[in-house]
Amino acid sequence: MASRKESGAAPSAIMASVGGSLDSPVKQIQIEGLVVLKIIKHYQEEGQGSEVVQGVLLGLVVDDRLEITNCFPFPQHTEDDADFDEVQYQMEMMRSLRHVNIDHLHVGWYQSTYYGSFVSRALLDSQFSYQHAIEESVVLIYDPIKTAQGSLSLKAYRLTPKLMEICKEKDFTPEGLKKASIGFENMFEEVPIVIKNSHLINVLMWELEDKSTVSDKHELLNLSSSNHLEKSLQLLMDRVDDMSQEIVKYNTYSRNLSKQQQQKHQYLQRRQQENTQRQGRGEPPLPEEDINKMFKPPQAPPRMDTLLIAGQVNNYCQNVKEFTSQNLGKLFMVEALQGNN
């Protein structure tokens, strides 16, 4: 199960305690507005800068729609808290919710992100554990940096069926990924989200919008984006450096493999020539040898980390693209307003 430091405990034990299995695939996610507010409040209370906050999502499946009706955070604890049992804590929380007649079925988890830096091995392993035990599980990614710019950033992701098969087999070699046709573009699939509020909350939101001042509305035209763009580009350059190191590792492996293949081919040619000479002299051929033991192929570097880095680079590029396109739209809008004045 996901934790503040690393996502480790499997949710299968928790599902065994509450019973039931979910079969239908998820095409849409419906989230209660209260759940969104709890996630935002959790980050505001415990998240500091790049500190990641995580929690559990509760709800139910209706046809092909996953309804998230409640959530609760993982408690903040350090590695020194050896006596803390996360699985026991979650089971007690869901048992308490069940006693007060609140949806208590485990349907996934949520996590905050820092400038979109969420594509990692820890997230992959955790989501695989959830999705393997609960097929409809999703992970909600909340970006407080984007949200602070004026629009809520909350996205839901699931592992694709191809990636689930690869993770089950644990075959992350170049040949295994090539055979499964896995690339960074088809590792995760995004599920559309719909936020649902009660009629009373909708009325309250309308009243709050009417009471908002004109100056607050004009803040949407703010062009101060240098800090956000600079940080995003710095993170992008760091991941590009990591990608360069992975490419060097793979190129080294390719050169070693090619060199060994040449040595193997030369050895077989010499052996064939010697057997031909021995046959001409009437001597028996050389005894058979296990050539694979003599020429052990070099170990291929795992390619899953490379795919994750490529996926994170793509995510950074999309963030920069979205952010700059919004600012370009603001610039054209401001230019038109100045021209009218």
pLDDT in tens, 204-238: 888 887 776 655 555 556 665 567 778 888 888 99
Residue 134's contacts (CB-CB under 8 Å, 6 or more residues apart) are: 11, 15, 22, 106, 107, 108
Q: What angle do CA 238, 240, 246 make, to 5 degrees?
A: 110
This prediction has a pTM of: 0.73
**pLDDT tops 70 at residue 259:** yes
DSSP SS3 for 182: coil
**68 close to 30: Cβ distance less than 8 angstroms:** yes
Closest of 97, 116, 118 to residue 107, by C-alpha = 97
Rounded to whole angstroms, what are the CA distances from 231 to 6, 48, 222, 236, 304?
24, 16, 18, 9, 26
The alpha carbon of residue 51 and the mean position of all alpha carbons in its chain are separated, in whole angstroms, by: 16
> Which residues are registered as beta bridge partners of 31?
68, 195
Is 90 exceeded by the pLDDT of residue 157?
Answer: yes
In the predicted structure, residue 3 carries a pLDDT above the cut 80: no
Q: What is the pLDDT of residues 269-298, one digit of tens each?
A: 888 888 888 888 877 877 777 777 777 878
Tell me the three state secondary structure of residue 287: coil
- 173-178 contacts: CB < 8 A, separation 24 or more? 173/300, 173/302, 173/303, 174/250, 174/300, 174/303, 175/300, 177/303, 177/304, 177/307
User: Going by C-beta distance under 8 Å and a sequence separation of 6 or more, which residues neighbour residue 272?
Assistant: none
Distance CA 282, CA 267 (A): 22
Local structure of residue 49 (DSSP, 8 states) = T
